[in-house]
Structure 1
Amino acid sequence: MILRRNKFTVMLALLSAVLVRAGLAEAKAVRDPAGEKEVARCIHKASQGRAWLERTLWGLRDQEGGWIGAAVENTNGTHDLGPLQVNSWWVPKIAVLVERPETHVRHWLQHDACFNAEAARWIFLSGLAVTGDYWKAIGVYHSPTAWRQRRYAKGVALHLQHRFGAEL
């Protein structure tokens, strides 16, 4: 009985160590300087020279907190993918637009920062075209639910102020 408890304690300690190390590896991926530089390059490229759109994409990225390779599971079974955390719900729609298989689109959203930023731009600008309202489009990027949209837009506004100053 004592031997079993000791084995269990050792196994539990090893499992804890592995989980802690996995968490640290994930945290390092989030802060990877090369990855951050690539995300910045891709956001700049996706904005197509429009400063307001580049700032918007930065606001979305800062709110989402994603990174290259991210696939964060949501409670509804979808996943938030890549640096701008594009929801996997968009994968079939984007696959039709780019005429590529959904498996490729999902992989690109997760691992290709530029594809991810371009998709985020498209989602945001589509929301802007439908709503005609900047802050509503910010909210639509996140959710179809009005109260979640408002909460999300407030968060993005705070991130924009933090990154670009209160006068923005």
Structure 2
Amino acid sequence: MRKHLIHLSLILLWSLPSAAAPIANEEQAEVRACMQTASEIVGVPRIALELIYRMEGGRRGQSVMNKNGTVDMGPMQINSWWMRKLSEAGFTQAEIRDDICTNVHVSAWILKQEVKRSADLAEAIARYHSPTPEHQLRYISSVREFLAVMIDEAERAERTVSAMSQPPLRTVAHVETTPHATP
């Protein structure tokens, strides 16, 4: 019996919303607002920035060490390889890692550089991730899968909105056809 109570307690604990969820949602909202601005200023498709964000899965203040000794930073996981050029423009690693809009705008700028190099958005997104062709192929394959998920989510949301705009169905539970007898 005690074992069942422990399992039930764990299930209930896991089903509660995380305290970090509101923070994550606030951060995501800030990232997406910055994406809109960066997309307009830099001239890259917002959907490309969204794909990179969702694929990279970074967070404000996050640094991830790579096998090759470089570090990916912040929400868009900007690689430290870019720091030489970025520091010449006055950016610090702390800004890139910790400031969401700086991270997103720099990410858009990097993507724009890769688009100029390849003239192909898919290839530019793959190059954003890695200069290594085999890593690029694996990444772009994952991007395609993620894009399919995003399209499916958008279609489901559209169907939900469409269904909500339909008038409610009329239902009649029971209609008595014989008159009531009076006592």
TM-score (normalizing by structure 1): 0.72
* Contact persistence 1:30–1:66 (CA under 8 A): no
- Give 2:50's match in structure 1, choosing from 23, 39, 58: 58
Q: Which has the higher contact order (CA 8 A, sep 6+)?
A: 1
Q: 2:169 maps to which residue?
A: none
Structure 1 unmatched ranges of 5 or more? 1-24
Does residue 48 of the first structure (1) align with residue 40 of the second (2)? yes
Structure 2: which amino acid aligns with 1:42?
C
Q: Report the 3-state secondary structure (helix = DSSP H, G, I; strand = E; otherwise coil) of the residue aligned with 1:68.
A: coil
Which structure has the larger Rg over C-alpha atoms? Answer: 2
TM-superposition CA deviations, 1:5-52 (whole Å, max 9, x none) = xxxxxxxxxxxxxxxxxxxx9x94896222111111111111117997
Q: Percent identity?
A: 32
* Contact persistence 1:30–1:67 (CA under 8 A): no
Q: Which runs of 4+ in 1 moved over 6 A?
A: 49-52
Q: 1:85 maps to which residue?
A: 77
The CA distance in 2 between the partners of 1:165 and 1:60, in whole Å, is 18
Q: Report the 3-state secondary structure (helix = DSSP H, G, I; strand = E; otherwise coil) of the residue aligned with 2:92.
A: helix
* Contact persistence 1:47–1:121 (CA under 8 A): yes
Paired residues in the alignment total 138
Does residue 36 of the first structure (1) align with residue 23 of the second (2)? no
TM-score (normalizing by structure 2): 0.67
- The verdict on how the C-alpha distance between 1:164 and 1:52 changes in structure 2, with shifts beyond 3 A counting, is farther
Structure 1: which amino acid aligns with 2:125?
I
Alignment of 1:105-116 (within 5 A): 105-116=92-103
The CA distance in 1 between the partners of 2:143 and 2:26, in whole Å, is 24
Q: Report the 3-state secondary structure (helix = DSSP H, G, I; strand = E; otherwise coil) of the residue aligned with 1:48.
A: helix
Q: Report the 3-state secondary structure (helix = DSSP H, G, I; strand = E; otherwise coil) of the residue aligned with 1:75.
A: coil
Structure 2 unmatched ranges of 5 or more? 1-17, 156-183
